[in-house]
Structure 1
Amino acid sequence: MPVRAVPPLWRRLWPLRRPALSSAVAALALAGSGVLILHLVQRQTGTTGLLVGLGLALLPLPFVLGALAWLNQTARVPVRHTLFCLAWGACAATTVAILANGWASDFLVAHQGARGETLGAEFATPLIEEVAKGSALLVLLLPLRRRHRCEEGRPCGRWRRLLWHRPGTGRPAHFRPAPAGRQRARSSPRTLAAGTVLGGVTACGFAFTENALYLGRAFTADRQARLDAIGLGEAPSLRDFDGTVHTFVLRALLSPFAHPLFTALTGLGLALTLTTARRWLARLGAPLGLLLAMGLHGVWNAAAGLGTDGFLLVYGLVMVPCFAALVCFAVWAQTRRARQPSRPG
């Protein structure tokens, strides 16, 4: 009869090995980062600007989350995971991004002058923000590799514990290895959709907080300009809030899917890396997905400095085709998943 090895004390006390404790630690960390990000945004927008920014940033949120919920019919990501990603994007990722972007911008401006602002917007900001958002996907998608190894016929995790508790009985009755000679050559549509959904939800939370920041700052600037105009004897008009309207149209109407599109590429690449059996695809999936996300993010940021015509050109030639490709992928995943027979148990 085999003797079960006793894990070291530090492994038994490690919080991440206890689901309830790890969930409590994650909730406290996210709550702390949420309080910090509210303070950082309020310092830049003021209390009134913060409330207006939060209210306006909420308007596009149901449409984006609704589209991701439709795709989640294929992915079937648990609600607790989507809530974690949403909170991570809105609180933790934005906190890291604001602090790191500020430090990177100061460093680049100090060493490169005016060119440093361009480098920060087109290179440093996409790198910082996409890594901050993608780290949540890594935490949630890493268990996929172990699960797929179990499905391929090798005992691991829960299966190994069952073998220890039932010595001499062989494999558990519900352990079904893959047929001989058949290897997992490609990721399932559900796995790819899960990476896309997790990435999109994380970016949705990130975009919400970022929109609240930009809309709040625009409203505060417009309100101050209106007060100055009234002090000069000029009559107030609706054009006093052109900056807020312009920011809302650009961020909430024209590009509500911009951040979800970027991070969905990261999630898609990471899902490929963790689940495919093709070595070349496993090595290239995650790095390529992250590079595509950062590259598309950098192009989007650069388009803001090209004027109205240049922005619309980039929007029509780059963003719209990429979004259309993502929609086609979502439809393909739904179709493939519907054609696959359901697995018992």
Structure 2
Amino acid sequence: MPALDAQAILDGRRPGRHSVGLAVTMAFSVVCLLGGLGFDLFNSGTDVVPALLLAFAPVPLLVNGVLWLDRLEPEPARLLWLAFLWGAGVAVALSSVLNTLGLVLYTLPTFGAERGYYISAAVGAPLVEETTKGLVLIGFLWFRRREIDGITDGISYAALVGLGFACVENVQYYVQGYLDAGASRLLEVFFLRGVVTPLLHPLFTSMLGIGVAVAAMSRRRLTRVAAPLAGWLGAVVLHGVWNGSTGFGSTGISIAYGFLLLVLIVLLALMWLDRRRMIGTIARYLPAYTGTGLVTEGDIAMLSTMGGRRRARRWADRAGGRQGRAAMTDYQLAATELALLHWRVEHGIAAPDWPLRRDGLLALMHVARVAFGRGARPSVPPEWIAGSAPPSGFVREEAPTWLPYGGGREG
């Protein structure tokens, strides 16, 4: 009997099948990234090396911070990679070309040098860059709507796009600083862009991420159009506020920085509320499956707190080793996805093939429960993989009660 492809089930795709369009887009993004870095290397020679090191140094910490915020229901790795690579490759390349053309063909001839550069930075750059960054988010909304289960998902994708963009854009700023005044100026620019303001681009683009998430979770056609437009406008305005503040000296920059810090706090609060909503879906929809033996009251308590999930994975690791831990992780993710799927069904936004996804998640939960203490992933009947409902008389699997480990609900 064939074994379940756990990752395919969690990603909502057919086992063994991958998106050609996704692969091509990712490859194109990589080509744009390498081309941009190669251009910098050609123009600046070895001076680009310290700039590259400083630009990429904070990236692992920042990316892991974004992933940590979305750890309750993490997104498919391939889409997260695409978001980052699009920002670092395609968005940077398109923005560089369009910003330069706008500057040379319109703002400089129209407004002169000093005023033209300021208008280009405060108006032109926000319009261009938030559009090029946002294209991939619109693509996710169009082609991967089922992957967006809440505001947290939209913010996570948008933040990774922004981090990729900021990383490569910083290379150019660091190189220029080094060429202007050597290592001291390079470190000064790094402190300003890499330490003080590393989250600006993620923050701007998160506005569109929220708009895309609202559109993905709505049945109304007007909302599906208006929400992304409103999000894009919000991204442009925030970007313009920051760039425009530079024309008002340190006072203007300080006020803009404080305002954007408040926006960041609001975003974090929205993500916390979204997590509460997702936990609520677990408590609302999973009790219906207690009669199958796939879910117990203890499981629901465990799934409702990050600490309970973590302790359950540690238990599975002690009981079944690395594969036991992987099985517990699969169970937790599948159960969360099942609850969110029922939420989408109730709100009328689930894909027509949602029963197939439900049955695949149930099959994965069954296999994972069997594997908790055995250190292996057993096979399951082929009809489960094909998407038919699990047999009504399947054996109820015994599993540990998680109440002592899970505690109460997320506080």
**TM tier relative to shorter chain:** 0.7 to 0.9
2: CA distance between counterparts of 1:40 and 1:207?
17
2:31 aligned partner: 32
- The structure whose RCO (Cα within 8 Å, separation 6+) is larger is 1
Q: Does 1:312 align with 2:254?
A: yes
SS of 1:73's equivalent?
Answer: coil
1:131 aligned partner: 131
Contact 1:134 1:266 in 2 (8 A): yes
1: CA distance between counterparts of 2:190 and 2:80?
26
SS of 2:247's equivalent?
Answer: coil
Q: Does 1:337 align with 2:278?
A: yes
Q: Does 1:244 align with 2:243?
A: no
Instruction: Report the alpha carbon displacement of residue 49 of structure 1 after superposing the two structures with TM.
Output: 2.5
- Counterparts of residues 118-267 of structure 1 (less than 5 Å): 118-145=118-145, 147=146, 190-223=149-182, 241-267=183-209
- Counterparts of residues 13-162 of structure 1 (less than 5 Å): 19-44=18-43, 46-107=44-105, 108-114=107-113, 115-145=115-145, 147=146
Q: Does 1:284 align with 2:243?
A: no
- Counterparts of residues 293-308 of structure 1 (less than 5 Å): 293-308=235-250
CA offset digits 1:159-184 (Å, max 9, x no partner): xxxxxxxxxxxxxxxxxxxxxxxxxx
1: CA distance between counterparts of 2:228 and 2:243?
23
Contact 2:151 2:213 in 1 (8 A): yes
Instruction: Report the alpha carbon displacement of residue 27 of structure 1 after superposing the two structures with TM.
Output: 3.8
2: CA distance between counterparts of 1:133 and 1:304?
23
SS of 1:305's equivalent?
Answer: helix
Provide the aligned C-alpha RMSD in A: 2.1
SS of 1:340's equivalent?
Answer: helix
CA offset digits 1:91-138 (Å, max 9, x no partner): 111011111111111121012213222221111100110111111111
Cα distance 1:275–1:331, how it changes in 2: closer, same or farther (>3 A)? closer
2:9 aligned partner: none
Contact 1:71 1:334 in 2 (8 A): no
Cα distance 1:28–1:314, how it changes in 2: closer, same or farther (>3 A)? closer
What amino acid is aligned across from residue 339 of structure 1 in structure 2? G
In the alignment, structure 1 segments of 5+ residues that lack a partner are 1-17, 149-187, 224-240
Contact 1:75 1:191 in 2 (8 A): no
1: CA distance between counterparts of 2:255 and 2:189?
19
In the alignment, structure 2 segments of 5+ residues that lack a partner are 1-16, 283-335, 339-357, 362-411
Instruction: Report the alpha carbon displacement of residue 329 of structure 1 after superposing the two structures with TM.
Output: 1.3
Instruction: Report the alpha carbon displacement of residue 302 of structure 1 after superposing the two structures with TM.
Output: 1.1
Instruction: Report the alpha carbon displacement of residue 279 of structure 1 after superposing the two structures with TM.
Output: 4.9
Instruction: Report the alpha carbon displacement of residue 315 of structure 1 after superposing the two structures with TM.
Output: 0.9
1: CA distance between counterparts of 2:49 and 2:134?
28
Instruction: Report the alpha carbon displacement of residue 72 of structure 1 after superposing the two structures with TM.
Output: 2.1
CA offset digits 1:57-111 (Å, max 9, x no partner): 1232123212210122244210000011111111111011111111111121012
Deviates more, 1:275-284 or 1:121-130: 275-284
2: CA distance between counterparts of 1:291 and 1:125?
13
Contact 2:67 2:74 in 1 (8 A): no
SS of 1:276's equivalent?
Answer: coil
Cα distance 1:75–1:138, how it changes in 2: closer, same or farther (>3 A)? farther
Contact 1:53 1:216 in 2 (8 A): yes
Cα distance 1:20–1:285, how it changes in 2: closer, same or farther (>3 A)? closer
CA offset digits 1:266-289 (Å, max 9, x no partner): 111012123312455334211110
Aligned length: 268
What amino acid is aligned across from residue 335 of structure 1 in structure 2? R
- Compute the TM-score of the two structures, normalised by the length of structure 1: 0.72
Contact 1:262 1:293 in 2 (8 A): yes
2: CA distance between counterparts of 1:20 and 1:192?
25
CA offset digits 1:241-275 (Å, max 9, x no partner): 44223211211111111100111111110121233
2: CA distance between counterparts of 1:41 and 1:77?
32
